Amino acid sequence: DPRMRFFIGDVRDLERLNYALEGVDICIHAAALKHVPIAEYNPLECIKTNIMGASNVINACLKNEISQVIALSTDKAANPINLYGATKLCSDKLFVSANNFKGSSQTQF
């Protein structure tokens, strides 16, 4: 489908996100460091990817005036018992709160 574009990148790279989101209408955020044992062994990388990456997606979507943003979550974010779940809970809260601080932007999170 020519209406869809796919980029290889890293949600921790805000410049790449801004480039990838130019001219985009809808963003589906599915990036995460999702393997619990790997997240526990690499906590800083998990935080950078799942929390800071989510923040980068939000900021890039606002900058590029994306009309709709869909962020995928997990059942592990409800009452988290590990770092992965905790970072996904933080990510979820960032996306929900983005609707409150988006200002005059028409972006819907």
Positions annotated as catalytic residues are: 76
The SS3 call for residue 95 is helix
CA distances 8 to 13, 78, 85, Å, are: 11, 30, 25
Number of other CB atoms surrounding residue 63 within 10 Å: 15
